């Protein structure tokens, strides 16, 4: 079932997110429960996208929050927002499992359904507040991104293939793939940096 993150119905300030992580770092189980409740669908969805198997995704999701519980005390604001920190853990663990199990891409989930992201929030650099508009912009950046850039980005992110491997699969020169990945990533950044919707 694809759902929106309804539990994030109210905007959180960056201070609140960071406070949440700090409390987890001090061993506060309530804070971990709040984090899980707010981000569980996001983490589970991401992990499932990578590993393509619900049972495995459930185990990895448990691993992700257990890792968050153990390492929250070392969380460094300078290296990203709490959400990107958490998602980084999720992707890292999912990718490690995916690589170890040598899944074939045919087992991978496809994004068949759209999802309502209007109430999902991310950090706004200027206000320090999490803005649904910016998440929407990020989605728009993907939607308006040239198909070949989005394709290499999705393969790189969800499958962890190197530029050379992606090039081999798509029959494109490696240098072209590298350029496309860089452009795609830059496009994703555009809404955060400028506060405006990304242009194709």
Partner 1 sequence: MRHDCPTHEIKEQAALYALGVLTHLEASAFESHIREGCEICRAELFKFERAAGMFALNAPQIKPPAYLIDLLQARIEKETAARTQSPENQFAVDQPFLTRALAHGRQIVAAIPWRLVSIRALPWAAASAFGVVSIMLLVALSSAHSASANQDHAIIEAKKQIEQMHGLVERATGRSKELAEIIAILGVPGVRQVQLVGEGPAASSRITLYMDDKSGLCIISADQLPVADGMVHHLWFVTPEGPKNAGTLQTDENGHAFLETSAEANFRNLNAACITLEPEGEVDHPTTRVLALGKITRSPRVHKQNSAATPDQPSDSEEAPPQHSQTDAPEGAEQRPRHAARQSGTTSIDNH
Q: Which is nearer to partner 1, 106 or 113 (CB)?
A: 113
Q: Which two tokens stand for residue 83?
A: 């959400």
Determine which residue in the list 25, 71, 103, 115 makes contact with partner 1, applying CB under 8 A: 115
Determine which residue in the list 14, 31, 56, 149 makes contact with partner 1, applying CB under 8 A: 31
Asked if residue 89 binds partner 1 (CB under 8 A), the reply is no
Asked if residue 167 binds partner 1 (CB under 8 A), the reply is no
**91 sits in which H/E element:** helix 82-101
CA of residue 67 relative to chain centroid, distance: 16
The C-alpha atoms of residue 21 and residue 35 are separated, in whole angstroms, by 8
Minimum separation from the CB atom of position 174 to partner 1 (A): 11
38-77 residues in contact with partner 1 (CB under 8 A) are 38, 40-42, 44-46, 48-49, 58, 61-62, 65-66, 69-70
Residue 80 — left, alpha, or beta (φ > 0 → left; ψ -120 to 50 → alpha)?
Answer: left
Asked if residue 127 binds partner 1 (CB under 8 A), the reply is no
Determine which residue in the list 52, 53, 72, 95 makes contact with partner 1, applying CB under 8 A: 95
171-200 residues in contact with partner 1 (CB under 8 A) are 178-179, 181-182, 185-186, 188-189, 192
Asked if residue 103 binds partner 1 (CB under 8 A), the reply is no
The C-alpha atoms of residue 166 and residue 170 are separated, in whole angstroms, by 6
CA atoms within 13 A on the CB side of 19: 6
Minimum separation from the CB atom of position 55 to partner 1 (A): 10
Q: Which is nearer to partner 1, 45 or 151 (CB)?
A: 45
Determine which residue in the list 117, 132, 170, 195 makes contact with partner 1, applying CB under 8 A: 117
User: Each residue of 1-39: b (16+ CB within 10 Å) or e?
Assistant: eeeebeebeeebebeebeebbbbbbeeeeebbebbbebb
């Amino acid at each position: 079932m694809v759902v929106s993150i309804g539990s994030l119905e109210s905007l959180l300030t960056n201070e609140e997110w960071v406070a949440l992580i700090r409390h987890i770092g001090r061993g506060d189980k309530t804070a971990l429960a709040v984090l899980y409740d707010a981000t569980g669908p996001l983490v589970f969805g991401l992990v499932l996208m990578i590993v393509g198997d619900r049972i495995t995704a459930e185990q990895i999701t448990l691993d992700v929050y257990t890792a968050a519980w153990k390492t929250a005390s070392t969380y460094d604001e300078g290296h990203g927002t709490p959400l990107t920190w958490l998602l980084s853990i999720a992707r890292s663990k999912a990718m490690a499992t995916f690589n170890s199990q040598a899944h074939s891409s045919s087992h991978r989930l496809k994004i068949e359904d759209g999802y309502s992201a209007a109430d999902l929030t991310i950090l706004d650099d200027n206000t320090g507040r999490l803005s649904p508009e910016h998440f929407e912009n990020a989605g728009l950046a993907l939607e308006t991104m040239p198909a070949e850039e989005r394709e290499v980005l999705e393969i790189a992110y969800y499958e962890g293939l190197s530029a050379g491997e992606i090039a081999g699969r798509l029959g494109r020169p490696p240098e072209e793939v590298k350029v496309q990945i860089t452009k795609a990533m830059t496009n994703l950044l555009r809404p955060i940096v400028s506060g405006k919707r990304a242009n194709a």
